Amino acid sequence: MEDSEQLKEMVKQKYSEIALQDKETNQSSCCGSGCCSTEVYNIMSDDYRTLEGYNADADLGLGCGLPTQFAKIKKGDTVIDLGSGAGNDCFIARTETGEDGRVIGIDFTPEMINKAKANAQKLGFANVEFRQGDIENIPVSANSADVIISNCVLNLVPNKDNVFKEIFRVLKPGGHFSISDIVLIGNLPDSLRKDAEMYAGCVAGAIQKEDYLGLISTNGFRNISIQKEKAINIPDDILKNYLNEQELTGFKTGNTGIFSITVYAEKSKTCGCATDCCS
């Protein structure tokens, strides 16, 4: 697979295209990545439409969970959404924070930022803003967020350890995150792991569930819990683009599983260390 910068550029290009597509087109591909399926491959089976604050124009069908549902957002909170896309999770979070709160969406792709800003302007939300930036270097000051959310984004980032370090930096002492993401149990076949399209499709960039939770722990978070977990099934017509019949059978009958998890963790109210680890 390409190096980190090449992968980032590929993701930016793919999601620039997605920003200009409608939801139905995105849902009939691997997270919008373009490897078309005759079955609808929409890894977010959760339905946003019943949540207060839902905006159809901001829903591109690219998530893998409902982190806002589990994020314990309170009135007046400052919430940051990593990989905010067209703004759907931000607008739902804004319903929870109220007019006294603040919501900041961060996205890597200019086209997504433009779309989100246009949606916020139509809705008249003065306390929701969108910033272009790399979530490995979040454009927000330290100790500024009460809650961080993210929906099916960290799996696209080559260096997930850097992201969790940044989340720790940006959260206030006592703050917390709720993140929905894709993880693995067992090893993907090499042909899936190496393919750039599947990387943009949210699968090949996923890491082992145990390693994912380990990164959260080693970066200083506590009270880690899985709020929701569900299996992801990739349709055969997509898998056949990457696997021969023998590989397909082995993949489907083996111990490898692809899962969406929503993970919660907290930053301690006190550092509990000799250095200034809260900054």
Domain definitions of the chain by residue range: 4-266
Mean pLDDT confidence for 106-122: 94
Note the pLDDT of residue 198. Answer: 55
Note the pLDDT of residue 271. Answer: 56
Enclosing H/E stretch for 93 = helix 88-97
**For residue 151, what are the β-bridge partners?**
180
> What's the CA gap between 189 and 241, in Å, rounded?
13
Topology of the domain covering 4-266: Rossmann fold (3.40.50)
Residue 100 reports pLDDT greater than 60: yes
Query: What average pLDDT is seen over the chain?
Result: 82
Region at 53 (left for phi over 0; alpha for psi -120 to 50; beta for the rest)? left
Query: pTM, whole model, 2 decimals?
Result: 0.83
- pLDDT tens column, 199-243: 445 566 788 999 999 999 999 999 999 999 998 877 787 788 888
First-to-last C-alpha distance (Å) of the chain: 34
Residue 23 reports pLDDT greater than 50: yes
Specify the DSSP class assigned to residue 220: T
Note the pLDDT of residue 224. Answer: 98
> What's the CA gap between 217 and 224, in Å, rounded?
8
- pLDDT tens column, 254-269: 888 888 899 999 999 9
Note the pLDDT of residue 36. Answer: 39
